[in-house]
A and B are shown apart, each in its own frame.
Chain A
Amino acid sequence: MGYPHPIHPKETPVLSTHFGEADARTFDGWVKRGGYAALRKALEMTPEQIVDEVKASGLRGRGGAGFPTGMKWSFMPKDTSRPHYLCCNADESEPGTFKDREIMRWTPHALIEGCIIGGLAIRAETTYIYIRGEFTEPYHVMVKAVAEAYAAGALGANVFGSGKRHDVVIHRGAGAYICGEETALMNSLEGRRGNPRIKPPFPAVAGLFGAPTTINNVETLAAVPHILVRGAAWYAGLTLSSPKSTGTKLISVCGHVQRPGVYEITLGLPMKELIYDLCGGMLPGRTLKAVIPGGSSVPIMTPAEVEECATDYEGIVAKGSMLGSGGMIVMDDTTDLVYQIMRLAKFYAHESCAQCTNCREGTAWTTRILERLLAGEGKASDLDLLLELSEQMTGKTICVLSDSCAAPVVSGIHKFRADFEAYLTGAAVPAMAEV
């Protein structure tokens, strides 16, 4: 549902069906709603059968990269002489993204169930759920739900009497965007600074505590029980466009729309319908200026690109951006895009872990040049300088934080050049006189 709004007829509620129902948070309430049936089914299956079912569903990672989940699971070794770990990435901090928060707040047992099933698939007896420190309410809801799941026998040494073990540990982050990057998350969990690691080795070979590890996003794991209960074919059939984009996706929409919220759509829904029908369109008297469709790390889209865009992995790429996490930022004609791009650059400069030079220096310089421009002190060569800097920040570092800072800058200059030039010619009133 379009939490906190009622379900819109163009939505496909699967994961979000019970958002807003306090009773769904309890173990009994979840069982009443069909919960834990998928786990009972999974306990009768071999790891290969679970992986095959998820592969056949077409489920792709919902955290941002969109990697096929079943394939990711199949990379895990079959040998269990060393422990295997499942990590659930609940460090949702990509600006514009607030969907995992609602999953944890309203349907914590859906996530726990997904973790146990994922654990069975990759032969892991422990899941660590890494929740960002700022998510106080989701943290408390999850801690309570995990305790209930142990008391009910869904977790522990003998999951539902199957003789199989699974433990879930909730681990609280402490404020660092970069810990949403999977290797930084593992370092943080191990009690280190959240610096991303160089790959290879990939987590499936040497991940958490040096052991084979799979990291999955909250929404990905929460989708798995539905796939096991209703079947891979049902999930794979949920698509309005590309057969490579199957299932439902939670899209968190924020910014200048009438009804911001978390909407669950069948992938492929026209972006225009999402913005104008589900979210109620622009505020009175305003027009659309730009959309950042997949969290702040993806290129900015123009209204013309939005016009014919299918909201799925391929559709958004075709229109010059990415689905990413599904965190959609809608901006109307009152927005000073140059200021907001500076603000995003400042975000990345603040969140850089500072181990790679191009990122540490690049994010800071990008911010400073944009601030100079906004103060009315820009030089004619600044736009080329920003583009050159962005090129040095793309594909040159350990993780993609640096690339993420470059994306809105490059797309902003290419698609909204006049906005930048207005600050150079004096047509725009300096927005940062105090800088």
Chain B
Amino acid sequence: MSGETAVYEPVFTGAVLAQLEALYPKYPTKQALLLPALWLVQEARGWISDGAMHEVAEKIGLTAAYVRGVVTFYTMYHTHPVGRHFIQVCTTSPCGICGAEDVARALVEQTGCGDLGSTSPDGRFTVIEVECLGACGFATPILVGDDFIESVTVERVSEILARYP
């Protein structure tokens, strides 16, 4: 699998392990740490590899198959490497009636991603279409990494992309 080193380097060492361990007293079961643990992996590595799923399973006392079943249920966990800047654009009806599909098209074209879900050849951007981002009054909202940007129009796309080298 691309991006996977031959020898798997564990995520949960040092500071990341300490972050996970700090969560233990907050929940009565170990399994409740699964979503937080997966977030820690994604923050550290950018995506969740097979190796990481095995490591999380081991740490939490689940099987790797169970962890995969959970990872794939949620749309925000990446099971493949993504661009340096991960862009999520809402095209659900409330934004759709305000021009969101044009914004999505402009993002795909101007990032060079070619298609929704793809990564630009230079590895800079990945653009995906998502369902409702919960900011319908500020159409069109997009997420670039952790940055939530409201009221994006086709005209604003190039200026916004320029902020993310």
Residue ranges of A at the interface with B (Cβ–Cβ < 8 Å)? 83, 92-98, 101, 132-137, 167, 169, 171-177, 188-194, 209, 252-256, 260-262, 296, 327, 329, 331, 335, 340, 343-344, 347, 350-351, 353
Candidates A93, A169, A253, A260; contact of B132 at CB < 8 Å: A93
Q: A-B pairs with CB below 8 Å: how many?
A: 140
Q: List residues of chain B with CB within 8 A of the CB of A191.
A: 29, 31-35, 60, 62, 70
Tell me how far the C-beta of B71 lies from the nearest C-beta in chain A, rounded to whole angstroms. 9
B134 touches A134 (CB 8 A): yes
Decide yes or no whether B76 CB sits under 8 A from chain A.
yes
Decide yes or no whether B139 CB sits under 8 A from chain A.
yes
Beyond A174-B35, A255-B98, is A167–B26 a contact (Cβ under 8 Å)?
Answer: yes
Q: List residues of chain B with CB within 8 A of the CB of A351.
A: 131
Cα–Cα, bound, A159→B139 (Å): 41
Candidates A134, A255, A261, A262; contact of B76 at CB < 8 Å: A134
Would you list 6 pairs from A and B whose C-beta atoms are within 8 A, ordered by A residue? A133-B74, A134-B76, A134-B130, A136-B143, A169-B27, A171-B35
Decide yes or no whether B164 CB sits under 8 A from chain A.
no
Decide yes or no whether B92 CB sits under 8 A from chain A.
yes
Residue ranges of B at the interface with A (Cβ–Cβ < 8 Å)? 26-29, 31-36, 38-39, 60, 62, 69-70, 73-77, 88, 91-94, 96-98, 130-139, 143, 146-148
Tell me how far the C-beta of B40 lies from the nearest C-beta in chain A, rounded to whole angstroms. 11
Q: List residues of chain A with CB within 8 A of the CB of B28.
A: 83, 209
Q: List residues of chain A with CB within 8 A of the CB of B148.
A: 134-137
A96 touches B74 (CB 8 A): no
Q: List residues of chain B with CB within 8 A of the CB of A253.
A: 137
Beyond A176-B74, A343-B93, is A252–B137 a contact (Cβ under 8 Å)?
Answer: yes
Tell me how far the C-beta of B52 lies from the nearest C-beta in chain A, rounded to whole angstroms. 15
Beyond A191-B60, A347-B132, is A340–B36 a contact (Cβ under 8 Å)?
Answer: no
Candidates B35, B60, B73, B93; contact of A329 at CB < 8 Å: B93
A255 touches B97 (CB 8 A): yes
Tell me how far the C-beta of A410 lies from the nearest C-beta in chain B, rounded to whole angstroms. 17
Q: Smallest CB-CB separation from B62: which chain A residue?
A: A191
B93 touches A188 (CB 8 A): no
Q: List residues of chain A with CB within 8 A of the CB of B138.
A: 98, 260
Q: List residues of chain A with CB within 8 A of the CB of B97.
A: 255-256, 329, 331, 335, 340
Beyond A133-B74, A137-B148, A191-B29, is A340–B136 a contact (Cβ under 8 Å)?
Answer: no
